[in-house]
Structure 1
Amino acid sequence: MKFSRRDFLKAIAVSTALAGSGCSFGSGSRGAQGTTPQHDAEKWVKGVCRYCGVGCGVLAGVSKGKIVAVKGDPDNPVNKGRLCVKGILLPKIMDTKDRLLHPMVKKDGQFVKVSWDEALNLIVAKFKDAIAQFGPDSVGFYGSGQNIAEEAYVANKLFKGAIGTNNIDGNPRTCMASAVAGYVSTFGEDEPMGTYADIEEADVFFIIGANMAEAHPVLFSRLVDRKNSNPNVKIIVVDPRRTRTADIADMFLQFVPGTDLALLNSMAYVIIEDNLVDRDFVSQHTNFMQGEKKLTFDEFKAFLADYTPEKVSPLVGLPAEQIREVARLFAAKDRNTMSMWTMGLNQRIRGTWANNLVHNLHLLTGKICRPGNTPFSLTGQPSACGSIREVGALSHLLPAHRVVANPKHREEIAKIWGIDPARMSAKPGYHTIEMFRAAASGALKVLWVVCTNPGQSIPNLKLYREGMEKTFMIVSETYHPTRTSELADVVLPAALWMEKEGVYGNGERRTQHLAKAVEPPGEAKPDVWALLEVAKRLGFGDLFPFKTNDEIWEEYRKCASGTKMELSTYDRLKKERGLTWPVHDPNGPDTYIRYAAPYDPYVKEGIQFYGKPDGRAVIFARPHANPQEMPDADYPFYLSTGRVLEHWHTATMTMNVPELKRAMPEMYVEINQADAEKIGVKDGELVTITSRRGQCRLKAKINGRGQPRPGMVYVPFHDTEMSRMINFVTIDAFDDVSKQPEYKICAVQLAKA
């Protein structure tokens, strides 16, 4: 059965309607979902969707050793039986023509099948040689928010604890690092205080820099349900591009790209001017800061004098009265307000500041730490929180939200790992952009890439692909060739999804167990097995005695014990549909809202932002700042990139699903109608997009599902064809706090090809 693009857009609306009436996609009936009938499955195995950070529960239907069907888990509180079209079609990513079935080594420029022993011995020899000649910082690891937590934990311990380098980073650096930096700088601890349950309690939704309808469709359906259930619910969408998410908005603010700092400050100005501040909350629970300088309320108010709606209006491209209206709706004292955002705020050189300013609005109004009142960062990958942020698998982190620069934190983890703290480096390792620059310069001699595709996903791609060819690179991958594995020296066949067991942590702090449903094909093995094998062959076997995932998890739980991030036992996770940490009592309840009694077990009364020494959150004075690269006479357009409903990340999985590929076989460039007329381009004609770094050629899409404002173009980043890979064009400038690259904005020129 063929899917059209129209079918997929209908699927969003249909999924919302069916779920609202008690039905669910993936329930086993044959139809537009493309699933196999339930009666063909011999058993159903509990798991979690492989794609975005929503963390939808699934039941995988198994027959004759194969996953033949997937349905939404009706008992999982995240999705309550719903799945988006990608989730429904998960069985089709399992047995594909490009599945990597055996280890491969590049010899004389060609990949040759080898045994696991030969591949592992070569990897170990390269690690030993590099460390002996150039020291531990000559090697590195690049992981993923798609790893299970056990894989990330073992990799972190291997590199930071055994080898002694902090050169371990991952692709969440490119998508969620500014959200991390925003939470930590404002509240002292990472991750949201609220959960998805706040959707059903909120009256106002402030969605900025997020296209939930396509990037988080099941969560979007919950939002639509909430709006349909109560005519007083209002949805505000703030985006320079009109999207399917904006179609349900009561207010849509199509602002000039890169001006959201000014817009958010202007909203704060209106909240203060109109006396919508919760003065008691602010005085009891917040501090005002500008950099390291403490401010008074009146000094903060004076700082905002430059951001009156009238002054900001020409910059942001919105009427002053519209700014006032949205600020008043956000701050209305008889309403609960939930903010949601993702890459539109994060992928910026001032992404940390943008996150701070959203938090400011909630703190000024006291709309926080109460049901339906929360600033909520949406997560892009299935375990970016659980396997990276919580495990500490970034170059500056240690498990349970500790940091490598803190000697007390190093001592605590060293004790659990059974090593001398002196073995651990106090210096943060290479973050993502630094890591691939080090590969290009020759400073990084060996790099192990697991479960991700930087050969397609890194910005300013030409420079970094050349660097990947220079370093000795190991790639653990399910599919081959990808745009990364083609550059590798060794490729290891990785078990996929429910071919192994493990734990994911989603965007609401929910820790969920995936059971193993089937055996991996050929000689493919779980990445945790390969990591443990390399650890043993490097001589660190005494530090890695693990025989099962349970044992790995229980050691990791010790890292969280005594912190405010306590985790559930493995046995309990196997039985339940996830638990939102902290789980203070192993047999007790999980936590709905952090920092607030009676929900948070660490707060006896009221609200306490215990990540800060004085228990107070910070309201930051952050000025407007332009993106790194602004349009000019030579490069007159803003370029932004993002997702579409049908595909996910670099499409290594979704392009293997015939229905998804037919519906969206290649990416395109969205151009505003007026701009298209100026450059003489019609819908479907080829356009060359050029930046100071590179170019690509794509078909024009005019008046499609997304409509950028004049002066802006938009390109989905999923395309695997070299001539259409937009990251040859994007900029590698990054936020100096979070180190997250500015994918969302750079300057380009357009020409009819």
Structure 2
Amino acid sequence: MTIQIHAVRTTCPYCGVGCGVKATALPGGGATIEGDIDHAANRGRLCVKGSALGETLDLDSRLLHPAVRQGGALARASWDEALDTVAEGFARIIAEHGPDAVALYVSGQILTEDYYVANKFMKGYVGSANIDTNSRLCMSSAVAGHKRAFGEDVVPGCYEDFELADLIVLVGSNAAWCHPTLFQRIVKAKEARPDLQIVVLDPRRTATCELADLHLALKPGSDVALFNGLLAHLARSDAFDAHYVASHTTGLEAALDVANAGDDVARVCGLDPDDLQAFYDLFARTEKVVTAFSMGVNQSSSGTDKVNAIINCHLATGRIGRPGMGPFSLTGQPNAMGGREVGGLANMLAVHLDLDNAGHRDAVRTFWDAPRIADKPGLKAVDLFRAIEAGSVKAVWIMATNPVVSMPDADQVRRALAACELVVVSDVMASTDLAPYAHVALPALAWGEKDGTVTNSERCISRQRAFLPAPGEARADWRALCDVAQRMGYAGFNFDSAHAIFDEHARLSAWKNDDDGHRRAFRLDPLVGLSRAAYDALQPVQWPLNADGEGTARLFGSGGFSYPDRKARFIATGVRAPANVPCSEFPLVLNTGRLRDQWHTMTRTGKSPRLAGHAAEPFVDLHPHDALLAGVREGELARISSRWGAMVARVAHGGGIARGAAFVPIHWNGQTASDARVGALVNPAVDPVSGEPEFKHTPVRIEPFGVAWYGFIMSRHDLALDQVAHWTRVRGSGFIRYELAGRAPVTPDMARALLGAGDDADADADWIEYQDQSAGMLRAALLVDGRLEACLFVARVPDLPARAWLGGLFAAPELGPRERATLLAGRAVQAGPDPGPTVCSCFGVGRNTICAAIRAGDLQTPGQVTACLKAGGNCGSCIPEIKSLLHEVRFAAAAAA
């Protein structure tokens, strides 16, 4: 019998680009992954994270059964027992303390249908708006800015605008790493039209800058001053669209008064006046301008004003909602936009209705036939966890996110959850930083198993379709919510499928849409009443939909904003300093962000050995001058401290950091490193409008993390490393790698204990070691039945053998005499050169290999590197780094000449 294997069209679970994916489940488990050439977001292209999705689908460490805490530990329970515990706990706390004593904290990783049920449960039946989301941490400033300017949270443009623009301004966006497939569309547009100008506004010189015609390394937090200055320049240059402003906007005079009152912009922003003037002139004379902004704008205590300062410049010139022009919010998570549509934030109602509008509240309550409706905004994320610690919120249900790692002042979140009366966690992983605080743990479906819709940054609704069976007893988040709601006696939760939930969501979007004198842009009328088959076959479509069911690419080109008078609002954006500034105790400004090959807290990407090759350890990127002042050296460990917490990371000099600044990636957690949660350091100050925290501006100090030795272990099994001062855990192919540092000398006995080769070790085990006490060196290996089980390398300095060849030994069923003889050398007798850190994850090409090829072949372009090594020839995410290496090799050759 021939088994028919079919590809399933679904959507990537990573960033907000929303790439289409074709996944084919394999009979033996796992799946093959390819880009969906028919999806408009990516046209078949995937970044390296998306390409590696098939490597992340195993059930290792999955939470597969419900659990309830008993006697201090989580114990397996039935779904009925777990759901009863949640329902009874929520009901009792509400009865004793009122609806505001409970809360939900959800995630841009859940589907729109999950979000819809969660919002309906809290706001319509519990009667509290205490539901917030980790999207508060990444895009709530964009939401607030859109609502202030447009009257509704609407991104007015589409991805095609990046290809039609004559000028693209990227603000606080390392799109090359954070939105790679969209960035590759920009790269292709630049190749086709070299006159297309790219300007990057970012304090760091990131991979994105390799494509830029102009990089303005503005001072952190000075974006408002820069765009206010631009607005004033546009006025002086007679670049305003007077007709558009008069017909479709209001408030320009007040915004311009504030802009004209600003100080010397170049000085405030720390920029060369000529470079700033060149940008202003370029913007003024170019009609087709897209200004794309992301976390560097949003994650700020003045993030909403930054968003509005950008929008002001587009409204003043009428460069909005027409081909090739407009402000564009690049969303961080795959379904942050879907969450916004259903009111997933604590200050919103479903379908873009306003929580502070009594008529809107009544409309939603009537539609839901709800017993009550929240009548005031709930607690935003930072305030929510403060309220939990204070005891006013006594129960919280956390879904698909890990606030113990990702929240600012993350140690405060630990304290809050430790004191909370009832913590419910819905997750796919059994062991997380959050798990020790759970009273009830509910196994959720992961990507590939769950079914529903997501909405990307350009308002495109796409289907996520299941292609794998539900493992163990895992259930959809919406199903768990409905089960609890029904146990609490709530009548509106008899959904039997994601399709039924989507249909109700679509009907609500059209419900009384025009009753209050203006028509909301968000509406899904043509999708009301879809059959199950039609929902299953739903093609990607951008809202709002017209009467024929066709999507709308652009909005507001001819006005028609969502305020009752149909006019947009200019917002006067005064310049404010960040909430906390450097001082003698904390002299550096910490910036945080993503890496190219990792995602959030690594519960998915951390499963892929391929993705670990690009950056295996947490690092702090410093200017060499600041490192010298702090007494730390590249390659060694340092402690980074703020008023709120501390972490340890490897010192790096990436070359893109200005003096006075530091950068640390966000991804490491308590399972992947001993002390690397950057959230513990982050400034918890928030934007007063959006509630978004200040992830880009935390005063810190850097100090040496004193250790006596550095080392690494490779092992087939997890190890207990309580005896070392610092460790990082990295998934390899067939082994786990630990990067180590310690203070107590490593003796042969300690090495045996670390590798699990004690007195009771397997009789068939072989132990080999080499020690040079005078050099502080110890190398050891454990073999079982001739197969390499584990190895350890220790030295006084971080100069250790390359890991690549050693890692390859774990694939051998048995080590021969030659491999044994060279094992402790860390390199085969005739091994090739160390490839170096991975640059191209798709083809496993390292930095040293690329540099050697550039020198040997006198290569001049990324295309020549690709032709020689394949590097850069698949997803293209590494092309900016290849360009940087081309410059580096040429510079070194010129310096040596």
| TM-score, normalised by the number of residues in structure 1 | 0.89
SS in 2 for 1:75: coil
Match of 1:529 among 468, 473, 479: 479
Give runs of aligned pairs for residues 341-420 of structure 1, distance below 5 A.
341-386=293-338, 388-420=339-371
Letter in 1 for 2:653: I
**Structure 2 partner of 1:486:** 436
> For the residues of structure 1 that align with 2:230 and 2:366, how far apart are their CA atoms?
48
CA deviation after TM superposition for structure 1 residue 736, in Å? 0.8
SS in 2 for 1:157: helix
> For the residues of structure 1 that align with 2:419 and 2:695, how far apart are their CA atoms?
25
130 and 428 in structure 1: CA distance in 2 versus 1, 3 angstrom threshold: same
> For the residues of structure 2 that align with 1:143 and 1:319, how far apart are their CA atoms?
43
CA deviation after TM superposition for structure 1 residue 40, in Å? 10
Q: Which moved more, 1:660-669 or 1:649-658?
A: 660-669
| 1:194 maps onto 2:145 in alignment | no
> For the residues of structure 1 that align with 2:395 and 2:539, how far apart are their CA atoms?
39
Give runs of aligned pairs for residues 300-339 of structure 1, distance below 5 A.
300-307=255-262, 311-333=264-286, 335-339=287-291
> For the residues of structure 2 that align with 1:467 and 1:328, how far apart are their CA atoms?
51
Q: Deviations over 1:302-334 (max 9, x none)?
A: 4333336xx12222111222211101111214x
CA deviation after TM superposition for structure 1 residue 576, in Å? 4.3
Match of 1:584 among 529, 537, 546: 546
Whether the 8 Å CA contact 1:270–1:324 is kept in 2: the answer is no
| 1:431 maps onto 2:392 in alignment | no
CA deviation after TM superposition for structure 1 residue 269, in Å? 1.9
Letter in 1 for 2:498: N
Whether the 8 Å CA contact 1:187–1:609 is kept in 2: the answer is no
**Structure 2 partner of 1:114:** 77
Whether the 8 Å CA contact 1:203–1:336 is kept in 2: the answer is yes
Letter in 2 for 1:97: D
Whether the 8 Å CA contact 1:144–1:451 is kept in 2: the answer is yes
Q: Which moved more, 1:434-443 or 1:669-678?
A: 669-678
SS in 1 for 2:663: strand
Whether the 8 Å CA contact 2:405–2:601 is kept in 1: the answer is yes
**Structure 2 partner of 1:450:** 399
**Structure 2 partner of 1:502:** 452
**Structure 1 partner of 2:90:** 127
SS in 1 for 2:234: helix
CA deviation after TM superposition for structure 1 residue 617, in Å? 1.4
Q: Deviations over 1:667-705 (max 9, x none)?
A: 11000122223333221111111111111111111136x
Match of 1:153 among 97, 105, 116: 116
Q: Which moved more, 1:656-665 or 1:105-114?
A: 656-665
> For the residues of structure 2 that align with 1:573 and 1:553, how far apart are their CA atoms?
9
Q: Deviations over 1:357-381 (max 9, x none)?
A: 0001111222111100110000001
SS in 2 for 1:397: coil
Whether the 8 Å CA contact 2:320–2:556 is kept in 1: the answer is no
Give runs of aligned pairs for residues 172-187 of structure 1, distance below 5 A.
172-187=135-150
> For the residues of structure 1 that align with 2:579 and 2:259, how far apart are their CA atoms?
23
CA deviation after TM superposition for structure 1 residue 661, in Å? 2.6
**Structure 1 partner of 2:623:** 672
Match of 2:15 among 52, 71, 76: 52
> For the residues of structure 1 that align with 2:553 and 2:258, how far apart are their CA atoms?
35
**Structure 2 partner of 1:553:** 502
CA deviation after TM superposition for structure 1 residue 536, in Å? 1.1
| TM-score, normalised by the number of residues in structure 2 | 0.75
**Structure 2 partner of 1:697:** 648
| 1:594 maps onto 2:550 in alignment | no
SS in 1 for 2:564: coil
**Structure 2 partner of 1:651:** 602
SS in 1 for 2:351: coil
**Structure 1 partner of 2:881:** none
> For the residues of structure 2 that align with 1:674 and 1:227, how far apart are their CA atoms?
35
CA deviation after TM superposition for structure 1 residue 144, in Å? 0.7
SS in 1 for 2:75: strand
Larger of the two Rg values belongs to structure: 2
CA deviation after TM superposition for structure 1 residue 524, in Å? 1.0
Higher relative contact order (CA 8 A, sep 6+): 1
Q: Which moved more, 1:370-379 or 1:519-528?
A: 519-528
SS in 1 for 2:461: strand
**Structure 2 partner of 1:35:** none
125 and 628 in structure 1: CA distance in 2 versus 1, 3 angstrom threshold: same
SS in 2 for 1:242: coil
Q: Deviations over 1:16-60 (max 9, x none)?
A: xxxxxxxxxxxxxxxxxxxxxxx9981100100011110000011
> For the residues of structure 1 that align with 2:46 and 2:599, how far apart are their CA atoms?
15
Q: Which moved more, 1:463-472 or 1:175-184?
A: 463-472
235 and 539 in structure 1: CA distance in 2 versus 1, 3 angstrom threshold: same
Gaps (5+ residues) in structure 1? 1-38, 290-295, 597-606
CA deviation after TM superposition for structure 1 residue 462, in Å? 1.1
CA deviation after TM superposition for structure 1 residue 619, in Å? 2.0
Whether the 8 Å CA contact 2:237–2:284 is kept in 1: the answer is no
> For the residues of structure 2 that align with 1:584 and 1:735, how far apart are their CA atoms?
36
Letter in 1 for 2:540: G
Whether the 8 Å CA contact 2:30–2:58 is kept in 1: the answer is no
> For the residues of structure 2 that align with 1:538 and 1:301, how far apart are their CA atoms?
54
Q: Which moved more, 1:687-696 or 1:208-217?
A: 687-696
Letter in 2 for 1:456: V
> For the residues of structure 1 that align with 2:369 and 2:257, how far apart are their CA atoms?
53
Match of 1:214 among 154, 160, 177: 177
> For the residues of structure 2 that align with 1:625 and 1:142, how far apart are their CA atoms?
30
> For the residues of structure 1 that align with 2:3 and 2:449, how far apart are their CA atoms?
19
Letter in 2 for 1:497: W
Letter in 2 for 1:316: C
Whether the 8 Å CA contact 1:40–1:63 is kept in 2: the answer is no
Match of 2:564 among 609, 613, 616: 613
301 and 167 in structure 1: CA distance in 2 versus 1, 3 angstrom threshold: closer
The runs of at least 4 aligned residues of structure 1 exceeding 6 Å deviation read none
**Structure 1 partner of 2:792:** none
CA deviation after TM superposition for structure 1 residue 196, in Å? 0.7
96 and 656 in structure 1: CA distance in 2 versus 1, 3 angstrom threshold: farther
> For the residues of structure 2 that align with 1:80 and 1:711, how far apart are their CA atoms?
41
Q: Deviations over 1:577-596 (max 9, x none)?
A: 310000132x4311011123
CA deviation after TM superposition for structure 1 residue 620, in Å? 2.1
**Structure 1 partner of 2:635:** 684
Q: Deviations over 1:616-638 (max 9, x none)?
A: 21222211110001111111111
SS in 1 for 2:696: coil
**Structure 2 partner of 1:602:** none
Whether the 8 Å CA contact 1:416–1:555 is kept in 2: the answer is no
Q: Deviations over 1:113-133 (max 9, x none)?
A: 111111111111111211111
> For the residues of structure 1 that align with 2:652 and 2:59, how far apart are their CA atoms?
30
Whether the 8 Å CA contact 1:269–1:307 is kept in 2: the answer is no
What is the number of equivalent residue pairs in this alignment?
Answer: 687
Percent of aligned pairs with the same amino acid: 36
> For the residues of structure 1 that align with 2:379 and 2:4, how far apart are their CA atoms?
46
CA deviation after TM superposition for structure 1 residue 65, in Å? 7.2
Whether the 8 Å CA contact 2:24–2:32 is kept in 1: the answer is yes
CA deviation after TM superposition for structure 1 residue 300, in Å? 4.7
| 1:641 maps onto 2:592 in alignment | yes
> For the residues of structure 2 that align with 1:700 and 1:623, how far apart are their CA atoms?
37
SS in 2 for 1:340: strand
